[in-house]
Amino acid sequence: MPDTEGTIRMSARTSSRARRGASAAAAAILTAALTAVATVPASAVPPAATVTVAPAALSNDDTPNFAGTTDGLGGVVDITIDGATTSTPSDPLGGWEFEGPALADGPHTYSVDYAGGQIASGTFTVDTEADISVTPPVFERPGRHTTATSLTFGVTSEPGATVTYSLDGDEPVVVTGSTVQLTGLTEGYHFIDFAVVDAAGNHNGTAWDWTVDSSVVAPSVPETLSFAATVDEQTTIDLDDHVTAGTHTVTGFDAWTTDGEALGFQFDWEDTHVVTLYPRTAGTFTFTFSVWTEEGEQSNESTVTVDVAEAPLVSASWLAKPDASTTSTTARFAVATDPGATLEYVVDLPEGAQSVTPVEVDGTEFTLTGLAVGRHTIRVYAVADGHYSQPLDYVWEVVATGSAPAQPTAPAAPAPSAPAPVLSKDAIPAAQIAQGVKRGATGPSVVIIQRIVGTPQDGVFGPATRAAVVAFQRTHGLVADGIVGPRTWAVLVQVANGGTGVRPVVTVSIPQVLINRGISSGATGQPVVLIQRAVGAQVDGRFGPRTTVAVKAFQKAHGLVADGIVGRLTWAKILEVGAR
């Protein structure tokens, strides 16, 4: 037991010392920890900064202000506006502030950074002006004089704005819609002030003044008018018929349109005040006109709507025609067509040619007699009110009942040598001709074509050049497609070298008194029909823009002054060419 007991006592003494050693160690550790906290480097503490002032979401200040605090002297704050950064140091108390550069109206972005970290960001809109637009009524006399005792002003502003008006200095009235209607205006001078305050707090305004004087009445025209027209037909509108006179005589007319090309719009504003339309395409188009007096009274504006319909096509179909092969030298033809229509026909039209003097038939059937043995062709049109049907073409052969010996013929005399050509058929490459020169083409080849058909030689195959080519093709019995292919080019070369090409035959005349005076744009009737057939224009009896183009092309091709007027020289050339 002593050993055991001694061991126990020794262990007890050891434990007591261990406890005292542990207490000392713990004290040392606590002291070390407290010392470590007291000696943490300043860089290990996150810096602090705040933003106390920043732009509102919508502001009328174009130089935004920023302000805030930092955790001590020497702090630097970075302000970025729309990607551009500016650094601002803090003051001795840690405060900072920044006034931004002048900004344009519109949305902007910003961010604020301190010690490498973002402390604020956002977007804002600058609006420095209150928008307002006022559309006044029409004052029909100079100096804003009017006879009207009721007037309407149109008002527009930006969303969220408040608009008011004051008439003749009275209390402001809030505008609740897009118009301000004034009624019961007395004779004499008046003024109206408009004011606007927008959502950003901007102010703006405008004012108008006028005089009510009912002693003078201005001329007026209908607010709207409507007319019908047809493609390729001339329509005239006398504006004098649609004016209501006022106190003074109307002395001035004006008419304008953005649909001038489609309508073929022409206006005689000096003498007749007649609008002439020669529509080129179907659709609905408009033009506007107004009038005024020498004393300065102005009418309202009238909007004229023109509904253009496609040209009606006359119906035509065969009712009777000879057998394709017959021994009869008489042939009867009958056509089913519209009521009141008549017929025109051409017999044995030469290959590639187009006659301009068809035989006119007062009725819908006719008989040909005395036909020679051989092949015959006929082309028939039905005509009603100046409109034509599609052509009815037919081919038949008259065969002999017996054969006769062939008659000997004398040898042909040798042809005289031809002069050297002015224009070679190779002037335009054969590959280009085979492909067809048409609208959209440019370059020297187009210049050559323009020189022959009589349009300005700008090297651009545009609408005017196409119209002249179509007129040339019609004149020379070609397919009028506006494309210069092999057949059209061959005739162009022939004409350029002094030849006639394939020419129409003219066997009728126009009274000399009309020729002496000159037939030009605006003319109508049978003389125009004859001219249109001669120059290859569409036959409608109205001398419009397309007939003018065709006449000019004919004149240019034959060395005449290309003025579009059929006078003595041009008519003589038409007769000369038709007789060849």
Q: Are residue 242 and residue 204 in the same domain, yes or no?
A: no
Looking up tokens 């033009």 gives 287
Q: Is 291 a domain residue? A: yes
The residues with which 113 forms a beta bridge, in sequence order, are 78, 118
CATH of the domain at 375: 2.60.40.10
CA angle 110, 112, 118 (to 5 degrees): 115
Report if residue 362 sits inside a domain.
Answer: yes
Instruction: Give the C-alpha separation, 381 to 393, whole Å.
Output: 9
In the β-sheet with 250-256, what is the strand arrangement from edge to edge? 224-230, 302-309, 283-293, 250-256
- Per the CB < 8 A criterion, the answer to whether 571 and 509 are in contact is no
Whether residue 314 contacts residue 388, with contact meaning beta carbons closer than 8 Å, is answered with: yes
List Cβ neighbours of 19 (8 Å cut-off, separation of 6 or more): none
Question: Which two tokens mark 132?
Answer: 């307002």
User: Within this chain, do residues 436 and 573 fall inside the same structural domain, yes or no?
Assistant: yes
Report the alpha-carbon distance of residue 363 to residue 342 in Å, rounded.
5
3-state SS string for 67-115: EEEECCCCCEEEEEECCEEEEEECCCCCEEEEECCCCCCEEEEEEEEEC
Q: Are residues 161 and 292 in the same domain?
A: no
Count CB-CB contacts under 10 A for residue 569. 15
CATH number, domain with residue 532: 1.10.101.10
Q: Is 120 helix (H, G, I), strand (E, B) or coil?
A: strand
Please spell the DSSP secondary structure of 474-513, one letter per residue.
Answer: HHTT---SS-B-HHHHHHHHHHHTT---S---------HH
pLDDT digits (tens), the chain, 580 positions: 444 333 333 333 334 444 444 444 444 443 444 344 434 444 445 668 899 999 999 999 999 999 999 886 668 899 999 999 999 988 888 888 999 899 999 999 999 999 888 999 999 999 999 999 999 998 766 678 888 889 999 999 989 999 999 999 999 999 999 999 999 999 889 999 999 999 989 999 999 999 898 778 889 999 999 999 988 788 999 999 999 998 889 988 988 999 988 888 888 887 889 999 988 788 999 999 999 888 778 888 999 999 999 877 789 999 999 999 999 989 999 999 999 899 988 888 665 443 345 778 888 999 988 788 889 989 888 888 767 788 898 999 999 875 443 344 444 444 444 444 567 788 898 888 888 899 889 988 998 998 888 888 888 998 888 888 877 776 676 777 788 988 888 888 887 776 544 444 444 457 666 777 788 888 877 788 888 888 888 777 788 888 888 889 888 888 888 888 998 888 888 887 765 5
Q: Answer for the pair 96, 54: CB distance below 8 angstroms, yes or no.
A: no
The pTM of the full predicted model, rounded to 2 decimals, is 0.36
In angstroms, the CA 224 to CA 411 distance is: 76
* Structural domains in the chain (count): 5
Cα separation, 8 vs 1, in Å, equals 10
What per-residue confidence (pLDDT) applies to 351? Answer: 56
Q: Is residue 170 part of a domain?
A: yes
Query: Do 249 and 372 share a structural domain?
Result: no
Q: Give the C-alpha separation, 288 to 483, whole Å.
A: 37
- Please tell me whether residues 456 and 571 are part of one structural domain: yes
Q: Kindly list the distances between the CA atom of residue 334 and the CA atoms of 345, 360, 372, 550, in Å, as whole numbers in the listed order.
A: 12, 14, 21, 33
In 20-54, which positions are buried (b, 16+ CB within 10 angstroms) versus exposed (e)? eeeeeeeeeeeeeeeeeeeeeeeeeeeeebbbeeb
| 29 in any annotated domain | no
Name the percent of the chain in helix, strand, coil, to the closest 5: 20, 35, 45
Closest Cα partner for 317 from 368, 382, 361? Answer: 382
Helices in 356-462 by DSSP H: which ranges?
430-435, 444-453
> Is 367 a domain residue?
yes
Same structural domain, 121 and 160: no
**Domain boundary residue, one of 243, 270, 304:** 304
Please give the helix or strand (H or E) that residue 119 lies within, else none.
strand 117-126
Inter-residue contact 249 to 293 (CB < 8 Å): yes
Specify whether the CB–CB gap between 298 and 304 falls below 8 A: no
What is residue 90's predicted lDDT score, i.e. its pLDDT?
86
**Do 467 and 542 lie in a common domain?**
yes
Residue at which a domain ends, from 126, 152, 183: 126
Phi, psi angle pair for 444, to nearest 5°: -60, -35
List the beta strands (DSSP E) in 330-373: 331-337, 342-347, 359-361, 365-368
- Report d(CA 179, CA 135) in Å as an integer: 9
Indicate the DSSP class of residue 304: E
DSSP character string of 236-253: EEEGGGG-B--SS-EEEE
Sign of torsion over alpha carbons 332, 338, 340, 346? negative
Shared domain check, 238 and 187? no
| Three-class secondary structure assignment of 517-549 | HCECCCCECHHHHHHHHHHCCCCCCECCHHHHH
Residue 133, pLDDT score = 93
Q: Is 129 helix (H, G, I), strand (E, B) or coil?
A: coil
Position 438 in a domain: yes
Amino acid at 216: V
User: Is 171 domain-assigned?
Assistant: yes
DSSP state of 396: E
**Which amino acid appears at position 493 of this protein?**
V
| Alpha carbon distance 156, 191 (integer Å) | 19
265 and 140 inside one domain: no
What does the alpha-carbon distance between residue 493 and residue 66 come to, in Å, rounded to a whole number? 83
In a domain, 405, yes or no: no
For residues 140 and 572, give the distance between their C-alpha atoms in angstroms, rounded to a whole number: 54
Do residues 335 and 457 share a domain?
Answer: no
Q: What range does the domain containing 161 cover? A: 132-212
Say yes or no: 436 and 574 in one domain: yes
Q: Could you tell me if 91 and 205 lie in one domain?
A: no
Name the domain boundary from 150, 184, 212: 212
- Gap between the terminal Cα atoms of the chain: 165
| Most distant CA pair in the chain, distance | 177
C-alpha distances in Å from residue 300, one per residue of 146, 303, 348: 12, 10, 60
